[in-house]
Every structure is written in C-alpha cells, then in structure tokens.
Amino acid sequence: MDGMTALEPARPRPRAFWGDARFFLGILLVAASVAGVWLVVSASRQTVPVFAATRTIVPGEAVAADDVRLVDVALGRLEDSYLTADALEEGLVATRTVTEGELVPQSAVGAASAAATTTVVLRSAVEVPASVKAGTVVEVWEAPLIERGSYDAPRILVPDATVVSVTRDESVIGGGAASLELVIPRADVAAVLAATSDESALSIVPAAGFAR
C-alpha cells in the first residue's frame, strides 16, 4: 500500500550464552560419568598374582614353593597384604594355620628364627575322633603315673596345640589309638618332654569350640 512502510520480518533473537554453557556442561558431566564407570570397571579387572596354599599349613611349618601356587586375583588396595612371588624367601614358616586354597596373608608367615613354636609327636592314650585332622586345634591332657597301672587325675598340659598329621592304629591291639604330630609353643616343650619321660598318660582331645 502506498504511504505505508512494509513491516520488516522479525529477526530471531541470538541464543543466550548461558543456554549454550548449560548444554556443554551437560556433555562434560556425561563424559565424566562414563569415564568414572570405565575406570571402576578397569580397576576391578586388574589382577595380581599372589600365593594360595595347596595344602593346610600349620604354625611352625616351613612354607616352600611346593606348598603354594600362584593365582591371579583382583585385590585392589589389599594387594600388599598377601604373599607374592618375590616375597617367597627361604626360611619362611607359617605363624598361623593357613587352610588349603586360602590366599596366604603376609601376616601368616615369618622367619623361622623368630618362630615361637615347634613340633612333637605324641601318642594319645584315648581314641582320637575322626574329625581331628591337619589344622585342628587340640588340647593335650596329662595323667601323671602314680604307680604301674595307676594314674593321677588328668590335667591340661598344653591348652593350645595344632595338628600337623594323624597316624591311627586300626589294629585290634592298637585299640583305635593314634600318634599325632603337633605344633606346640616352645615354652611347653620342657613340660611335654618331662611328662613323656615320666610315662604319664597323654590324651589329645579337640579344643573347646572346635568340631569333635
């Protein structure tokens, strides 16, 4: 129309900067989340070779290459808590019982020179339960000999011993008796030797709280 100014088309408003910033911030958050998940998964997949026991190892026993095998496990921050290939040295002994298949903790082994235990072989005057085997904690009881065929009341001689092995006598003459190799504290050795030399009757029974 004459005399009228044509309306100019409206120009789109420029996109606010804060809107673009929010978009890029969202991308960064998503990327950070994905990276975090990837790092967690990658860390969980990282394994290290550590030793596991191939048999039950009792306190005082030497820990040699034949007693352990390397297994790859994911330990994370606990890696330094277990025995690794470069830490298996000559002269190591177990300081506590390590059961078959268990990962060997660094705290469960030590130098033989520092061992506070030793092994003895004793014959039990009473039948030993079938549940008693390597690694079982037992008590050693002593009944002092008064005269031939007569004994005093039994008393605990060693309250905390660990079985290394059991040899059972299944013959009629043996009457189900057994000889046991035991790990005992060195402090108890003199008393045990005195009891055996005095012909005391020694009985090995499972310790309280352990299977009978």
Q: What one-letter code names the amino acid at 131?
A: S
pLDDT > 90? residue 148: no
Do 147 and 207 form a contact (C-beta atoms < 8 A)? no
Does residue 3 lie within any of the structural domains?
no
If you average pLDDT over residues 33-43, what whole number do you get?
Answer: 63
Same structural domain for residues 168 and 184? yes
The answer, yes or no, to whether residue 176 has pLDDT greater than 70, is no
More confident residue, 38 or 47: 47
Pair (127, 88) in one structural domain: no
Q: How many domains does the chain have?
A: 2
Residue type for 84, please? Answer: T
Residue 2 maps to a domain: no
Looking at the structure, tell me whether residues 102 and 30 fall in a common domain: yes
Same domain for 84 and 131, yes or no, is no
Q: Is residue 11 part of a domain?
A: no
Q: Are 127 and 185 in contact (CB under 8 A)?
A: no
Task: Tell me which residue range forms the domain holding 40.
Answer: 19-115
- Note the pLDDT of residue 153: 94
Length of the chain counted residue by residue: 212
> Do 129 and 52 fall within a single domain?
no
